[in-house]
Structure 1
């Protein structure tokens, strides 16, 4: 009998007001560290000071997040190799901690303050380096602690971006299948199934649900399972296709006009379905869902490119990385 071994998070805790029980959660899972260092932003530390004061951290590192150079500077202050890094913040903070932990070979857990993308568990970190966002392969976290009440308090735009990122798995899976058919690229059916299931987990909801505990739970679990699909595939393939290449092209060509990654991915998803997956596409269904969730409002407010600029974006997206997608056939 043959088996495939994969790393899964040791800790996955989702609930209301659970961040203050971090120490107990670690003990219950038989996880002991000489030190714990909290990495967060000044804004979040001040906003949740009363909760953080109930926890024991040997140090608190305050960063803005999202910057490769800032992550390098922060990691230079860490000397203990037995320390646990606790990344408390959005995707920018978490991605910075991912790089820090990966470079220093440290263990880390994520405590998302919002759910704007799949950073909470994905093996990829997107950071600004040399003036442009770049992707870095990193190890997945030891665990995720998602405090529903903290996430509920985050801006609705961030939660909608998380939905856009998760739903785009449908596009990524199509591209993976296309590469398999056209080029014989190997696929992992288990990873593909996980990506599809996680992407569908938020489809039943409407905008009025986004502050509910049930929606937050399904979005968080969906993003974690999507990350697990990438870990299983040892690639971002299950959750990153043409729509992600388009988002990366926007960051590259128009950095001053870029917006949240999840919204750009959602826009790219719509563009691909409308213009390139003819005649069989999901454009109308996607439009109905994005309208129902008011994601379309955010897209129309933040993303405005002329036809000439869209052509530039598509051409750049094709060259972002060596990945066969529907754009390759354009």
Structure 2
């Protein structure tokens, strides 16, 4: 290896289908209740954001939800959780079919979350950062009574700033560790990740939420990584300086969110573990899924109420999970 050579780090391809569903239909896709289907997977952290936000805002009646199973092959995510392996609304076995319905020669990966136009059967967008923001800003006429403002205008600049470095250093940071191809790349990624987690530990020591005094888009985006940390990232991705439950502030913060309606009641730990340990055969060639860790701690008191804050601001928590959208209880 040449002196001074630095192994390139893992790079996520972020060139998604950029179309957006908006009230003014500027991309040709108007906000319209019943027209679109959110296709997601509980295993995927990027898709889990959309699942959480849909529930927090009460968009279940406006946007239907289809769930893929926890594993996929090189071609596509599949609807193996549904009877006959067919999505009951779209009538397809693979999400790939919705991509090809609009782009017959679609050359990139078939990713979740994706919004599909039900009448045409074609994918509209898979641009996951904008999917949740548009749920928050463009679909307001269909929000439930008491829905929180997850992206309020007066906090938007702060939320964007936090989201930017949390994405780079934490959400994608765990993948940078897990898919490092050389020791030097892994070592650098490891140090970078835990520096960011230490920064979050300090930030959240005196505030209940990342931005402001209530839940925002920033908390949703961090949660989906934290909830996967001990079951997957600590071992599978070698992010093992310590477990999440050994970082007292972040562990309490994560439990606070998990116990808030709309967060933990969307999490399926079994699907999460199955996805990573079975699909990533380059990292885990045997495909063995570990039995641990013990998950009971997620239900222990967190004590974060002492920091104040109101989870839903002037609003209220969502109601019970819709029939058919439940997840298995811990234990």
TM-score, structure 2 as length reference: 0.30
**Larger helix fraction of residues:** 1
**Larger strand fraction of residues:** 1
TM-score, structure 1 as length reference: 0.30
Greater RCO, 1 or 2 (C-alpha within 8 Å, sep 6+): 2
